A and B are shown apart, each in its own frame.
Chain A
Amino acid sequence: MHLTPADIAALGEIVGHYPHKRAACIDALKYMQARHGYVSDQSLEAIAVLLDMSPAELDEVATFYNLIFRKPVGEKVIYLCDSVTCWMLGRDKIARKIQDLIGIRQGETSTDGRYTLLPIVCLGHCDHAPAMMIDDRLFGDVEPGQLPGILEPPD
């Protein structure tokens, strides 16, 4: 895979924030993930070349974080908080309702490729527990009955 001139320009601006190129690697991984849904081996290699890292060094970083995917995920990623306050206030019921509605457990992707459900650590929205994010949209005070509307919002 080759980076387009537009990719290189976008990443070059971020690289300019730092005295050493590799500091931009998380942003670069996120950039490729935003375009392709996940970070493929080819994406990883292209970024490594751009940032003067070895693919192994970059993979050390890519595999460390909760928000970087090295495998394909669904079109939408549901992040359901599993930390303490959300657990107390019923996040397991939310997980079960999602399973009822779209047939996936945590860590799975629906067969139609639309959703991946992942547990996530505390989202800092504990005053509105249970909390979840779908891609970058945050939802609080979630009740099982609201899930159909949250997952399939009317157009």
Chain B
Amino acid sequence: MMTLERPLTKNIKPNTPPMGLHAYQAAGGYEAVRQTLGRVAPADLVEMVIQSGLGGRGGGGFSAGRKWQLMPDPKADPGPRYLVINADEMEPGTFKDRLLLEGDPHQMIEGIILSAYAIQADISYIFVRGEYGTAITRLESAIGAARDAGLLGRNILGSSYDLEIHVHGGAGRYICGEETALLNSLEGRRAVPRAKPPFPQISGLWGRPTVVNNVETICNIPHIVLRGVDWYKSLGLDGESGTKIYGVSGRVKSPGTFELPMGTTLNDLIEHAGGMREGYQLRAVLPGGASTAFLLDDQLDIPLSFAGVAKAGSRLGTGTAIILDDRTCPVGMLHNLQHFFAQESCGWCAPCRDGLPWVERILAKIESGQGEMSDLALLDDIAGTLGPGRTFCALAPGAMASLVSGLTYFRAEFEQHIHTKSCGWT
């Protein structure tokens, strides 16, 4: 059997400080930058990323290259252009970008240089959540080393291309992961989402053309450049490209992150995590964070690709699976999830601001044994009101994904709480 390639994590060793500049270069690092800057036309690089099939790893799955292609021609719209890295990893159950940021900061920087060059941006901000102090320190140190080596700043490697990277530490709110709320936060405003259109590529940071990309997406770029589109496509399964940093948390034997071919099945992923702990059985899975719909134990053979999970009625999301075991109360789990969303609603639009706390209160009532059957119909109704197209951004529809699927799959447990007037789980 062929050895699995793990381009994104090949330099990362657990509990070891990340590679410094010299070690990173000795391992082939910044070679893609040397081969590209001033040698490859930015438009050709965009085309290469389109051909690679790289889909946005923040959870959207939209073609990274196509996203870049929406940037206006700098000749038609001269002035500053920005690349913003979304490192505001706050999706519950998600811990993959932390690995990349802490484990190989130079890979992040190399990806940024290439991507910023492709979209002809001259400034990049890495928006890192405030709680990721280690990531912030390591990125700042790596940026300093790269600047001293002439890999950042003016006239990089004599290519006449200029780029500055700044690390922007956040102060903690989930909504900052929404790309237009992130831009407001970065500008020093309350982080509420902006209306789209205009999309950030047309009017983004300070009204200028801006691309916002996820950490993992950008970390793929150096490898695509260096090893080519055909190689990159060959890494994936189920018709999708590259590898994916998957994660598993919950009562499995070895929770953690696993770089595997994009499209690995859920079964295989759980096997990489050692399977369930003794005495626990898998009941259901949130495949990609708190904003994805539950999959049941008879759906474990599905490929964890964007298309594969969508076909099964959920979303790949961040690809970090949260396992619900048979000894955890599903109603309690849904209550916990909705508490999160209610707290993190930014308050900008009424359905989300008022609807999510309402959902949370009803779930608390049911969990504590004071629910009535009419509460279930009410939850169904609110879930429709907070669904896609009814709110300003995707926060509330994301919140409803687990609720709607949970109300269907765990109906018996809901009714049991109501009929017995108690939670039978300890």
> Which residues does A use to contact B, with CB under 8 Å?
17-20, 22-27, 29-30, 51, 53, 60-61, 64-68, 79, 82-85, 87-89, 120-129, 133, 136, 138
Contacts and interface: CB of A to CB of B under 8 A. Distances in A.
Contacts of B95: 124-127
A127 B131 contact: no
30 contacts: A20-B187, A23-B168, A23-B186, A23-B187, A25-B188, A30-B130, A51-B188, A53-B188, A60-B190, A64-B190, A65-B171, A65-B173, A79-B131, A82-B339, A83-B290, A84-B93, A84-B337, A85-B249, A87-B333, A87-B336, A88-B250, A121-B174, A121-B344, A122-B94, A123-B131, A124-B98, A126-B95, A126-B247, A126-B249, A127-B255
B257 A127 contact: yes
Interface in B75-111: 80, 89-95, 97-98
B131 A133 contact: yes
Interface residues of B, number: 56
Contacts of A65: 130, 170-173
A68 B170 CA distance: 10
Interface of B: 80, 89-95, 97-98, 129-134, 166, 168-174, 185-191, 206, 247-251, 255-257, 286, 290, 320, 322, 324-325, 328, 332-333, 336-337, 339-340, 343-344, 346
Given A67-B130, A126-B93, A26 B174 contact: no
Contacts of A79: 131
A24 B172 CA distance: 15
B188 to A, nearest CB: 4
B340 A121 contact: yes
B172 A23 contact: no
Given A66-B173, A83-B336, A84-B336, A127 B130 contact: no
A3 to B, nearest CB: 17
Find the residue from B134, B173, B286 having the highest chain A CB count within 10 A. B173
Contacts of B257: 127
Contact of B171 (A68, A87, A136): A68
B318 to A, nearest CB: 11
A137 to B, nearest CB: 9
B188 A20 contact: yes
B343 A126 contact: no
Nearest to B97: A124
Identify the 4 closest CB pairs spanning chains A and B, nearest first: A65-B171, A66-B172, A22-B188, A126-B249
Contacts of B186: 23
